[in-house]
């Protein structure tokens, strides 16, 4: 499943404030204004407008579009959740974004479910001084770890590594492994099985494998650091 120019044109027809921009053969680029007019019982009415650019891989919805804000409405810093490498918008963790895309694999769905909530949070921050209302993850590997913990209701990095060991395996093998929740039952006999099924195909198994390896390295480094600190308490200058 890949996005094609007909789908892009259909989106542009429904959203005339957006237009197609020059791009290479591997992607589409769409630029234009996104208008917000959102009422919320807690935060009141928010009206705003942002000029954005979406770089959409032709492999979408298998890959996440990259989004930029072009109007300089807010600083491109980590406080406003932008990536320092290219100043693109950090819309959320890759797993959560891919889950949103999987649930609604259209360009309009991506805009409404991934971009609009981010811009709404930015508007609240600019207009009313509210911090990000949908919660904030740390950047980098720690933020991705936090996301796994929150989504799967886990407690620590060891459980996340165990979860990723399951998700990186084929279902017939992963389902026979011990659930990471601490119940000591195999996956198919635990209530977490439904959540694991829900997320099993959100991103490829090899990506879950890479995350597991990264967290394993992070955890081993942390354990060595803790051991060194304990040694220093017991043996000064160790």
Mean pLDDT for each consecutive 10-residue tract of the chain (238 residues)?
Answer: 90 96 92 92 86 97 96 91 92 92 95 95 89 67 90 95 96 96 95 95 94 93 79 57
Per-residue pLDDT, 236: 53
Q: For 5-128, which CATH class?
A: alpha beta
Would you state the pLDDT for residue 132? 75
Where, residue-wise, is CATH 3.10.110 in the chain? Answer: 5-128
Q: In what order do the strands lie in the sheet with 18-21?
A: 18-21, 27-40, 44-57, 66-69
Tell me the C-alpha distance between 48 and 12, whole Å: 20
pLDDT at 181: 94
The pLDDT score that the predictor gives to residue 14 is 95
Give the pLDDT score at 44: 78
The pLDDT score that the predictor gives to residue 174 is: 96
- Which helix (DSSP H) or strand (DSSP E) does residue 44 occupy? strand 44-57
Compute the distance between CA of residue 87 and CA of residue 69 in angstroms, rounded to an integer.
Answer: 9
Q: Residue 238 has what pLDDT? A: 45
pLDDT computed for residue 233 by the predictor: 64
SS3 16: coil
The whole-number pLDDT of residue 228 equals 72
Task: Please give the pLDDT value at position 45.
Answer: 83
Residue 81, helix vs strand vs coil: coil
């Amino acid at each position: 499943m890949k996005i094609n120019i007909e789908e892009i044109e259909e989106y542009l027809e429904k959203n005339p404030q957006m237009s197609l921009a020059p791009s290479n053969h591997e992607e589409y680029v769409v630029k234009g204004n996104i208008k917000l007019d959102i009422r919320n019982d807690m935060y009141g009415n928010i009206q705003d407008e942002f000029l954005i650019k979406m770089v959409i891989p032709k492999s979408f919805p298998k890959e996440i579009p990259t989004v930029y804000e072009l109007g300089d409405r807010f600083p491109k810093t980590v406080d406003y959740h932008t990536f320092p490498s290219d100043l693109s918008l950090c819309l959320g963790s890759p797993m959560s974004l891919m889950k949103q895309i999987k649930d609604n694999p259209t360009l309009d769905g991506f805009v409404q479910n991934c971009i609009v909530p981010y811009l709404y949070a930015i508007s609240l921050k600019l207009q009313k001084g509210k911090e990000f209302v949908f919660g904030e993850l740390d950047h980098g590997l720690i933020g991705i770890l936090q996301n796994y913990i929150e989504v799967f209701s886990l407690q620590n990095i060891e459980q996340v590594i165990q979860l990723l060991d399951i998700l990186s395996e084929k279902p017939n093998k992963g389902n026979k492994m011990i659930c990471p929740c601490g119940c000591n039952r195999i996956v198919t006999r635990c209530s977490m099985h439904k959540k694991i099924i829900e997320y099993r195909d959100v991103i490829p198994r090899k990506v879950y494998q890479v995350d597991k390896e990264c967290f394993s390295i992070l955890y081993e480094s942390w354990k060595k650091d803790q051991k060194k600190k304990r040694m220093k308490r017991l043996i000064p200058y160790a």
